[in-house]
Amino acid sequence: MELSSVLKGVVYSQFGEMGPEAYIWFPQDGTLDSAILGLVSLKSITILQGEEGQVPEDVAVVPFPKYRMNSIVSFFSLPDTEARGGERDATLCILFSDKFSSIIYKHLELFKEQMNTISKEIVKREMEGDLAGSTALIQEFHASLLENLRSLQEAEVEEPKKADFKYKVIVVGDPAVGKTTLLLRYVDNCFKEIYIPTVGVNVSTKQVDVGTSKGQNINVTLNLWDLAGQKSFLHLRRMYLEGANAAIIVYDSTRSETFQNIKSWFEEVNSVNPKILGYIIGNKIDLLKQRKVSTKQGKTVADDLGFKFLETSAKTGKNIPTLFKDISRSILTKYKAIGT
């Protein structure tokens, strides 16, 4: 696979006199045209300034659906004696094809570290007024990202496990509860994600070794369906839900309204796919102090609906392997008898 189809570019933007502008970018072959560059700088810097003037510590994942791209943005400030507060906002943005969003989620920490290093280097160059130095830096960063992706890809294609059974698992829930993070951070081969634009769905795969039965090792492949973007669920309901072997309904344990909406998600799923094997997942349990929904409340609702219940953190990975293992085992028990 051409890795340039995965990596779309690197853009360094500043909040200049005229507002956000792309300052240095790579590649320079015209694939990043002025419309894309304008949008990238505007959106990344606007997000930065949405945080009440605080520079967010972390990086953010920012989608550009119009260009079928997804990005990681890291924020930093440039010393500027003429600017208010003596600082100017800047962002560094890595653009990926959104077919490969799982690369972002799976390797977020790695990219984050590299972006922090590069932005520090940019600040140094800027203080010296070394524009050529910053330009070379962005270009080198782009090249090193390609190199990085190559090694990640090589590491992933080794030893594909033999999958004995394949199943479709759908994930639903309110926006921002952590569906995509939960699925993509623990995906097996992030170079193999499939995007179905007509439905606005990302399908990633997860292979689960469920142990041995009658002396034979059994592997299960889960095709995990995740809604991309904010497309209206109503329009794609049937295609999304049909043929699913299991459904995961996710809520955010720090936001009660996402918990209250479980019932309506359940009804959506149930209307097309009654008696489906289902899970209610209370996510973000790493945010101890912000918790609004108790384990007991979650369990009670799941019991009422006849779904299984687990609490997870897509951030720390807590209970995610357990979830996938349990889904695989339960699906096997439910469907194996009637073939696949």
Provide the minimum distance between the beta carbon of 180 and ligand G3D in the complex, in angstroms, as a whole number.
3
Residue 313 binding partner per list Mg ion, ligand G3D, none, with a CB distance cut-off of 5 to 8 Å that depends on partner kind: ligand G3D
Residue 178 binding partner per list Mg ion, ligand G3D, none, with a CB distance cut-off of 5 to 8 Å that depends on partner kind: ligand G3D
Task: Say how many C-beta atoms besides its own lie within 10 A of residue 303's C-beta.
Answer: 12
Q: Looking at beta carbons only, is 21 or 286 nearer to ligand G3D?
A: 286
CA dist 115 and 297 (Å) reads 41
Position 180 contacts Mg ion (CB under 5 A): yes
Q: Looking at beta carbons only, is 119 or 258 nearer to ligand G3D?
A: 258
Q: Which residues bind ligand G3D (CB under 6 A)?
A: 60-61, 173, 175-181, 283-284, 286-287, 313-315
Provide the minimum distance between the beta carbon of 176 and ligand G3D in the complex, in angstroms, as a whole number.
4
Q: Looking at beta carbons only, is 179 or 206 nearer to Mg ion?
A: 179
CA dist 310 and 128 (Å) reads 53
Provide the minimum distance between the beta carbon of 95 and ligand G3D in the complex, in angstroms, as a whole number.
16
Helix ranges (DSSP H) in the chain: 34-50, 101-106, 108-127, 131-157, 179-184, 233-241, 256-260, 262-272, 295-305, 320-335
Residue 282 binding partner per list Mg ion, ligand G3D, none, with a CB distance cut-off of 5 to 8 Å that depends on partner kind: none
Binding residues with Mg ion: total (CB under 5 A): 2
**Positive/negative CA dihedral, 104, 146, 29, 73:** positive
- Bridge partners, residue 14, by sequence: 21, 90
Beta carbons of 296 and 305 less than 8 angstroms apart:
no
Give how far Cα 206 sits from Cα of 108, 109, 163, 314, Å. Answer: 18, 20, 10, 15
Beta carbons of 201 and 240 less than 8 angstroms apart:
yes
Instruction: Return phi, psi of residue 28, to 5°.
Output: -105, 20
CA dist 275 and 293 (Å) reads 26
Residue least distant from Mg ion (Cβ): 180
Provide the minimum distance between the beta carbon of 171 and ligand G3D in the complex, in angstroms, as a whole number.
8
Query: For residue 27, is the peptide bond before it cis, meaning its omega torsion is within 30 degrees of 0?
Result: yes
Position 221 contacts Mg ion (CB under 5 A): no
Provide the minimum distance between the beta carbon of 229 and Mg ion in the complex, in angstroms, as a whole number.
8
Position 258 contacts Mg ion (CB under 5 A): no
Residue least distant from ligand G3D (Cβ): 178
Q: Looking at beta carbons only, is 12 or 279 nearer to Mg ion?
A: 279
Provide the binding-site residues for Mg ion, judged by CB under 5 A: 179-180
